[in-house]
Homo-oligomer: A and B are copies of this chain.
Amino acid sequence: MRADAQRNAEKLRAAAAELFQERGLKVPLKEIARRAGVSHGTLYNLFGTREALIDEVVAGLAADRLGEAAEHALSFEEAGEGFAYYAERVCELQATDPAVADVVSGRYPAAECLMAICGRAQDAATRIIERARLAGAIRPDFTGEDLLLFFGTNALLARAVADTAPDAWRRQVAFLLDGLSAETSQGPLSVAPLTPQQMYDVMGRLAGAP
Contact = CB atoms under 8 A, between A and B. Distances in A.
A146 B163 CA distance: 18
Contact of A194 (B146, B154, B168, B191): B168
Contacts of A191: 165, 167-168, 170-171
Contacts of A150: 172
Nearest to A177: B186
A174 interface: yes
Interface of A: 139, 142, 146, 149-150, 152-154, 156-157, 159-161, 163-165, 167-168, 170-172, 174-181, 184-186, 189-191, 193-194, 198, 201-203, 205-206
Report whether over half of chain A's contact residues are helix, strand or loop; otherwise say mixed.
Answer: helix
A202 B172 contact: no
Nearest to A207: B160
Nearest to A203: B160
A140 to B, nearest CB: 13
Given A163-B205, A175-B176, 13 more contacts: A152-B160, A153-B157, A157-B206, A161-B205, A165-B194, A165-B198, A167-B191, A170-B189, A174-B190, A178-B184, A178-B185, A179-B179, A184-B184
A199 B210 CA distance: 28
Contact of A181 (B170, B184, B190, B206): B184
16 contacts: A149-B172, A153-B153, A153-B156, A153-B157, A159-B205, A160-B203, A160-B206, A161-B205, A163-B205, A164-B202, A165-B198, A167-B190, A168-B194, A170-B189, A171-B191, A184-B184
Q: Which 4 A-B pairs have the closest CB atoms?
A: A179-B179, A160-B205, A153-B153, A160-B206
A111 to B, nearest CB: 21
B206 A175 contact: no
A163 B205 CA distance: 10
Given A179-B176, A184-B179, A198-B165, A189 B160 contact: no
A1 B54 CA distance: 56
A180 B175 contact: yes
